[in-house]
Amino acid sequence: MADETFIDVGDHEVRISHPGKIVFPSPGLTKLDLVEYYLAVADGALRGAGGRPMVLKRFVKGIDAEPFFQKRVPENRPDFIDTATLHYASGRSAEEAVIRDAAGLAWVVNLGCLDLNPHAVRAEDLDHPDELRIDLDPMPGVEWGQIVDVALVVQDVLDEVGLVGWPKTSGSRGMHILVRIAPEWEFRQVRLAAETLAREVERRAPGLATARWWKEERGESVFVDFNQNAKDRTVASAYSVRPRPDARVSAPLSWSDVRTARPEAFTVRTVPARFAEHGDPHAGIDEAVGTLDGLLRLAEELGPAEKPPRGTSGSGRRESTMPLIEIARTKTKPEAEAALEEWKAQHPDAAGLLHPADVLVDGMRGSSSLWYRVRINLQHVPEASRPPQEDFIADYDPWAGKTWPGR
């Protein structure tokens, strides 16, 4: 196939480089296939990501390599790509891309973006979110049915405070529930509302759901991740293609679909036909704008959330109540998994006592990409048999060689 092709999208011509490049080897999907997928579901994808500044998550080396995150929009962007300048707590700012039409979708896919990662604000008002985001994140060992049960509890709470939730598969293991709100509250208030909802869901479904921020304290439960509402966070939006071998999609659902839907059913191959036949289950989301008053009243009733204990070293840092050891820091997830297997081989007796949720492999945001931290919670290992903290099996420094302004 030619090294480039040009496609007409509305009133714009979009260049697609290396259109025949295989992006998903198992289903045999090319870059051009992904562009055509997004054009087929453009109305739905733009309903989730259009008009919002977005971080460009670029998989330029394929789905098996770590992506890099690009906040600043490329200088040689076409004239149909808008921008918005976001200011971060670090004091830095970034002029980020804002797409508004199907041509914009094709353009970001050509850059190597698989999923779309918009902020919870519109480009016209960067200080007041118009979307509250509920991320149901299952711990290892949690099955899909438990996620569904927690989602239905979330729906009950939202109903009681006068809000409408719009569920979708995350495209990975979890579920997202989106809530349109009037852009009248600042980020801290939206995050407080989301945290309050998470605490109430945990209160109603103890053991099934948790609002505990510290991963080692969650057990085999569904974490109702309220911190996705912090100012600098982005979430893969509706119809985003996720970097899974089967080209899975973050698929909008109706509440009547939630119990019977399965994440693996929604892929680049299957979703366009569903969209063409049934339309977008989230078609009414922009007309269902609500208020945070009910959740903020509930926040006052519940009182402040419990704060984690602080260490005794004088640093003021939070101190875990769990017997944690850290075994590796790596550049990639396969390296993290290899380090974990090496530790298990070194400590087979302790490894045999671990529960699924005791193994903590965390993707950590570096300067422009993820790195991985591997920790072990030894809570199910008798104290006398617990391996000590040892030198890291791998010790990757994501900030090595980096320089920062003013330092």
97, two tokens? 């891309």
Separation CA 157–CA 188 (nearest Å): 20
Instruction: Give the SS3 label for residue 232.
Output: coil
Residue 1 CB burial class (10 angstroms; 0-12, 13-18, ≥19): exposed
Res 316: pLDDT: 53
Measured in whole angstroms, how far is the alpha carbon of residue 252 from the centre of its chain? 15
Q: Where are the beta strands (DSSP E) in 81-174?
A: 82-87, 93-98, 117-118, 131-138, 166-169
Return the DSSP state at 270: T
Res 407: pLDDT: 42
Res 402: pLDDT: 63
- Range 322-351 burial, b when 16+ CB lie within 10 A, else e: eebbebbbbbbbebbebbbeebbeebeebb
Separation CA 218–CA 205 (nearest Å): 13
Instruction: Give the SS3 label for residue 136.
Output: strand
33, two tokens? 């296939």
Separation CA 264–CA 339 (nearest Å): 29
Separation CA 240–CA 251 (nearest Å): 8
Q: Which residues contact residue 182 at a Cβ distance below 8 angstroms, ignoring those fewer than 6 apart?
A: 130, 289, 290, 291
Res 89: pLDDT: 74
Question: Is there a contact between 209 and 201 (Cβ–Cβ < 8 Å)?
Answer: yes
Residues lower than pLDDT 50 in the chain? 311-313, 315, 404-407
Res 315: pLDDT: 47
First to last CA, the chain: 48
Looking at residue 243, its amino acid is P
Res 360: pLDDT: 86
Residue 177 phi/psi, 5° resolution? Answer: -130, 120
Res 317: pLDDT: 58
237, two tokens? 């939006």
